[in-house]
A = this chain, B = another copy of it.
Amino acid sequence: MSMITTKLPSFMPNNPLPSPALQLVFPGVWKLRLGQNPEAFTPVNYRVIPAQEEGLCELPALETPPLDIAQVRAEKQTRGLLVKLPLGDEEVYGFGLQLKSFRQSGKKKTIRVNSDPVSDTGDSHAPVPFYVTSGGYGVLVDTTRYASFYIGAHQAPGAPRDADETAAAFSATGTEALYSGVDKASSQVVIDIPHVEGVDIYLFGGPTMLDAVRRYILFSGGGCLPPLWGLGIWYRTFGQFNQQEVLKLAHQMRDSKVPCDVLGLEPGWHSHAYSCSYLWNPKTFTAPDALIAELRGLDFEINLWEHAFVHPTSPIYRELMPYSGDTAVWQGLVPDFSLPKAREIFAEYHERELIQKGIGGFKLDECDNSDFIVSPWSFPEHAQFPSGMDGEQMHSLFGTLYAQTLWEAFRKNDQRTLSQVRSGHALSAPLPFVLYSDLYEQADFLRGVVNAGFCGQLWSPEVRQCASVEDLFRRLQMVVFSPQALINAWMVPLPPWRQFDEVKNRAGEWHADWEAIEAKVRELFEFRTRLVPFLYSAFADSHFRGIPVCRALALDYPQDLETRAIDDQYLLGQNLLVAPMLTGQTRRRIYLPEGEWVDYASGQRFSGKQWIEREADLYTIPLFVKFGTLLPLAEPRTSIGHDPRFVLTVKVFGESEAAPFRLYADDGVTFGYEKGQGGWIELAWDAQRGGSVQAEERAHAGRYTVRSWEVVPTRHSLR
């Protein structure tokens, strides 16, 4: 198990390395220094969670770096450093939370943190200067500058040609046809890193693309292990609610038996926002201790919205002033969280006033940037911070540093959190903060689930307003099969399943069919709670082994060229394939990769390596289980709470050939897992002898009880 330290990891000295510039830092992971004097303000230098060394050492060692170092070039230019890396006939993925595109070959991506990326430019809440290719390797550029990656996008001019290339006629009648290029065939990734003279890049070997991703995620520190309750249902309450209204909603939720684990309070809990006081509003939240006690008594965890901009009336304003940037945002200080003192002031206040009083997590809003909206906010790129960072560097790291600050406060209390954050960058995989967005395009939200996996990021395609009951269900289905099942009702007082229409909701008008709708929502959320042991084990696999919880088909099936373009289906944990339907769809094409796949809803069994058409009614999200899988499902619960015991039904998909399934077990709430106080339990199936449960260590055995083993009857599809 990894030990956590806030010191720089030992393999990452602060001073320039002696030659040679290439250094093996972990098995299959190389560091290559290019140019001179790389900047100090980089993701690697500001990590607080070290690499997941044990997991890295379990992956196969490699003799040589995954690409030809002799072909790597770095050129100093007036504008910065130009780095050129070889690129073969490969498909390229990654760059963090890219909502607008999936395959990156032939494109330009600028790694710039921004809150409303309206186009496919690279801008994102959480862009990452890391890519991985179907050639089976990954590249991290350790910079906080807004680096632009040109991924095989440009060619040098060729020789003159005499051949007659006269067009018979010009045929385009639209700009898309005009601009569909022919230049996407260069054999280089060119990276334009502004303002620097040198940079470190890290190369992650394979042999497969998934191996490279795993090495990157383990190098980051592994995926986070959330508290068990974090895998339940999240619900953010109306921003105008006062204490009584929050409590009333909490009771209604429990009365309705709709599962829910986390209630989130929006800005209204502060005495001042925007910017933030971090003080309960004495007019609307008159007795916060009582509120917390009552909510916790109902088995709710409480998540509080905030951003980092500290209002002049906040108790920590005066103390933070010397450790803040030169620019106010919404009149608030911008703490320089790269400074231990700023972290300490901010974390201690949160620990004392909120965490120790029972708050389970935070929603860290607006820590990105805001170039693309009508009324831009946030600090400028030229802002100066006392650490010496400028605004550009700080924008890249701000979400990560902010999340680190609060994560350290929780860790000091030996209390895990799953929280939210609106920005991330490189190496943020181990921080238990899920990304979200004010954007709302459904296809983009789905693509986000698929893309985030390449960098080990967690992304919530949260449900907010809905255009129809159909839209409500399609969106809810997606969150239920995502890393965080979040309904963000900050704009409406009633749960959206009681009234999806925003205006009517605020007018208190319940939907005529609300009971029928709520019943279906309850059923869907219950399925999420049944999946919790499965999901928790997937998170443990991401923590200890670097395997993303949600991931592109191309990662598990690298030989299957058909998977390379698929950005609207994904694998969830071990051997589940999810193919959400979007609003407006009544059927969709689904690709099943090699193996055999069972349609969870119908039991229909399909051969893999084929596209199928699937219809799905409003209440069904197409879900496939790989034949040969044991799927443990818990009893449905209205909350997970702090009880790590689950009673399981193990569904056996493939009576004669189901492989063992490993469940992770621990207390589900503390950091004990870092010290080995957790372990694996193996479910196994034998066609003759039936199922068996084997715990690595006796201590965890009681956490999962198998009530029944159910062989799922499957029937081969005619297709």
Contacts and interface: CB of A to CB of B under 8 A. Distances in A.
A156 to B, nearest CB: 6
Interface in A231-246: 239-240, 242
A173 B491 contact: yes
Interface string A75-106: 00111101000000000000000000000000
Interface stretch (A209-217, A264-272, A616-624): A264-272
Nearest to A197: B78
A272 B239 CA distance: 59
Interface in A589-625: none
A438 interface: yes
Given A181-B377, A282-B166, A390-B77, A160 B195 contact: no
Contacts of A321: 157, 160
A121 interface: yes
Nearest to A268: B170
A281 B78 contact: no
Given A180-B375, A312-B158, A374-B176, A118 B120 contact: no
A380 B147 CA distance: 13
Query: Which residue, A183, A273, A381, has most C-beta atoms of chain B within 10 A?
Result: A183
Contacts of A79: 194-195, 381-382, 390, 392
A20 interface: no
Contacts of A267: 170, 172, 178
A326 interface: yes
Nearest to A39: B78
B182 A331 contact: yes
Given A157-B324, A372-B119, A381 B148 contact: yes
Contact of A374 (B82, B120, B165): B120
Contact of A240 (B169, B375, B376): B169
Contacts of A167: 268, 270-273, 281, 283
A172 B239 contact: yes
A370 interface: yes
B173 A108 contact: no
Contacts of A170: 239-240, 266-268, 273, 281, 284
B328 A190 contact: no
A268 B167 CA distance: 8
Contacts of A78: 195, 390
Nearest to A78: B195
A469 interface: no
Contacts of A119: 116, 118, 371-373
A162 B154 CA distance: 58
Interface in A323-337: 324, 326-333
A321 B158 CA distance: 9
Interface of A is mostly: loop
Interface string A455-491: 0000000000000000000000000000000000001
Interface residues of A, number: 99
A87 to B, nearest CB: 15
Nearest to A110: B371
B169 A328 contact: no
A341 interface: no
A170 to B, nearest CB: 3
Contacts of A159: 312
In the complex this chain forms, how many copies of it are found? 2
A161 interface: yes
A195 B77 CA distance: 10
A688 interface: no
Nearest to A271: B166
B380 A274 contact: no
Contacts of A71: none
B324 A121 contact: no
Contacts of A328: 154-158, 183
Given A108-B376, A171-B240, A239-B172, A313 B163 contact: yes
A276 to B, nearest CB: 12
A411 B79 CA distance: 37
A185 B190 CA distance: 41
Contacts of A326: 156-157
A587 interface: no
A503 to B, nearest CB: 10
A192 B148 CA distance: 19
A143 to B, nearest CB: 13
Contact of A168 (B157, B283, B392): B283
A150 interface: yes
B121 A506 contact: no
Contacts of A169: 240, 242, 268, 283-284
A481 to B, nearest CB: 26
A707 interface: no
Given A170-B239, A181-B375, A192-B380, A165 B82 contact: no
Nearest to A150: B380
Given A313-B165, A374-B120, A379 B154 contact: yes
Interface in A241-299: 242, 266-268, 270-274, 281-284
A174 interface: yes
Interface in A47-88: 77-80, 82
Contacts of A431: none
Contacts of A375: 176, 179-181
Contact of A155 (B165, B178, B327): B327
A629 B642 CA distance: 82
Contacts of A407: none
A310 to B, nearest CB: 9
B176 A329 contact: no
A175 interface: yes
A318 interface: yes
Given A148-B380, A372-B119, A317 B283 contact: no
Interface string A377-400: 101111100000010100000000
A491 B177 CA distance: 12
A520 interface: no
A696 B109 CA distance: 60
25 contacts: A77-B390, A78-B195, A78-B390, A79-B381, A110-B371, A148-B381, A153-B380, A154-B328, A157-B312, A160-B312, A161-B312, A162-B313, A165-B271, A166-B283, A167-B268, A167-B272, A169-B240, A169-B242, A170-B240, A172-B239, A172-B267, A176-B374, A182-B330, A192-B380, A194-B195
4 nearest A-B pairs in the assembled complex, by CB-CB distance: A170-B268, A161-B312, A157-B328, A166-B271
Given A170-B273, A175-B438, A179-B375, 5 more contacts: A77-B390, A119-B372, A153-B376, A160-B321, A170-B268
